[in-house]
Amino acid sequence: MHPLLTSELPAKRASKGQQAGALAEANLATPDGAITILLIDTIKHAFSGSDTIKPRTLAEALKQPDTDKWVAATLAEIKAHIQNGTWELTQLPPGKRAISSQWVFKIKWMPEGLIDKYKGRVVAQGFSQVPGIHYNEVFALTACMAAMRAIIAIAAAEDLELESIDISMAFLNGDIDVEIYMKIPEGLEVEGEPQPSKDPKRWVVHLLKGLYGIKQGPRIWALKLHSVLMTIGFK
């Protein structure tokens, strides 16, 4: 017993590393074998999409059993860029260097373990951008969690309703702030007969809007969102 205390100290509690986990406690609290079914169901749900391989390139996507789904996702992505005016086809100016891009494919799953949709994205390889040439500032403000909690608390206290929105392809709305040229994405090519004054090897796309993967993507999107909110009356 400690000399300054009149009672015994409480027993030392086992560290987290020595404590039985929640799964072990559940196993002890249920009949033998009852937890096994739960584990099997959980693992089956977690790996329900393991038989659907996500391709790493467009060429791999065209070899998959579900090729039609990946092709539809690819065409939807290209259509979105055309409608958005993300880039324009041009010849690479002398002394300029074009960054590369790649396709990123992903399957979106529903909580039930079923496939929601196939997604394909053209992503710029931002790691090849050169500071001072392909981008300048990259900082972008993010939401302050303290402010978010304050808004939720006020809404709860005043019995208000909160609404949230999801902006589709948000990064594609930002206006590009420097001159960036990118190699033509895989699967696209220049149609028509070669022109005598044009070098077929120098066809690239000139970025006009933001694109996933570029260093300044978050910043130019934040600036665009701020300007639009100010225009419609937010301060």
- Compute mean pLDDT per 10 residues along the chain, 235 residues long, and list them: 54 52 49 48 49 80 91 94 94 93 93 90 94 90 89 95 88 92 91 73 93 94 92 88
Alpha carbon distance 57, 67 (integer Å):
12
Per-residue tokens: 29: 């609290």
In a domain, 32, yes or no: no
Contact by Cβ (8 Å): 121, 172: no
Q: Are strands 203-207 and 181-183 parallel, antiparallel or unpaired?
A: antiparallel
Alpha carbon distance 168, 166 (integer Å):
6
* pTM more than 0.75: no
Alpha carbon distance 208, 224 (integer Å):
13
What is the per-residue pLDDT for 198?
79
In a domain, 22, yes or no: no
In a domain, 1, yes or no: no
In a domain, 185, yes or no: yes
Q: Which domain holds residue 218?
A: 54-231
Contact by Cβ (8 Å): 183, 99: yes
Instruction: Quote the number of domains for the chain.
Output: 1
In a domain, 197, yes or no: yes
In a domain, 16, yes or no: no
DSSP secondary structure letter of residue 149:
H
What is the per-residue pLDDT for 221?
93
In a domain, 11, yes or no: no
In a domain, 222, yes or no: yes
What is the per-residue pLDDT for 22?
46
